[in-house]
Amino acid sequence: MKLVADNIRITKAEIQKSLNDRDPLPVRTLAQRCAAAGAHAIDINTGPLKKNPESSMTFFVRAVQSVTDLPLVIDTTNPLAMAAGLEAAQNPVIINGISLEPEKLSHILPLAARYDADIVGFLLAPDSRVPRENEERFEIALALVGAVEAAGISPERLILDPVVPPLSWDDGLARAREVLETVGMLPELLGFPVRTMAGLSNLTTGAGDKGKKNRMEIVYLSMLAAAGLDYLMLDILNSEVSAAARAADLMARGEIFSWAGVD
């Protein structure tokens, strides 16, 4: 289970200021900290970037890859920003991402073919609704594979994200358990070893108590690892949670054990 640092977010005041000032130092420093903390890839979450999307995304990509050669997960809904980020990228790239929304299929998906990049597919309904049942998730997964193949892209470039729900939803716990089933069953359902990704922070949205938040994230990431998850997106600088993620992966892989491999 590879750990994707989700720490570079434009919603953070220091990241927004870095962009406004075109000062790459805060972004570089954060990227270096993520790499040092054991990230296998770094998510660059810029949101829609409605103002100057091309130059803004180029700024972020260049800032991060100037200090690390880790893969970049370019996380935006703006196709202009996405294309600019892919053009600027020298590191391996994952497009984050598409769903069955027609606009994303028509504007984001073709970029995966053009730039020969992996792409995340969210198991969301065409109206962006989060499915309630596994049956609907599986139908969406099949539709995404079909869309990717129709675009001339190998389905092996696809990484499926079943969308972890907040526990605070009325049926959040039940949905979170179903996501675990989805992760475990997708490869068999699709007939090939499709990769999966999950955003851990979604689980504890709205949690005010950091200790409780950490405990629930640690328990759930362990279950995700056991289900066979390939990529876990998390706050890599939360040492308690990230250490647990590495330990869970060690157990899930079932390789020869050594205490040297435990943080």
pLDDT tens-digit profile of 67-113? 999 999 999 999 999 999 999 999 999 999 999 999 999 999 999 99
- Cα–Cα distances (Å) from 145 to 37, 103, 112, 135, 160, in that order, read 34, 17, 13, 16, 9
d(CA 141, CA 186): 8
d(CA 263, CA 260): 8
Predicted confidence (pLDDT) at residue 207 exceeds the cutoff of 90: no
Provide the β-strand partners of residue 73: 43, 94
d(CA 138, CA 198): 16
Nearest to 1 by CA among 39, 44, 45: 39
Task: Supply 206's token pair.
Answer: 């709205």
Predicted confidence (pLDDT) at residue 180 exceeds the cutoff of 90: yes
Across the range 197-214, mean pLDDT stands at 94
Q: Using one digit for the tens of pLDDT, what is the confidence trace for 242-256?
A: 999 999 999 998 778
pLDDT for 253: 86
pTM to 2 decimals? 0.96
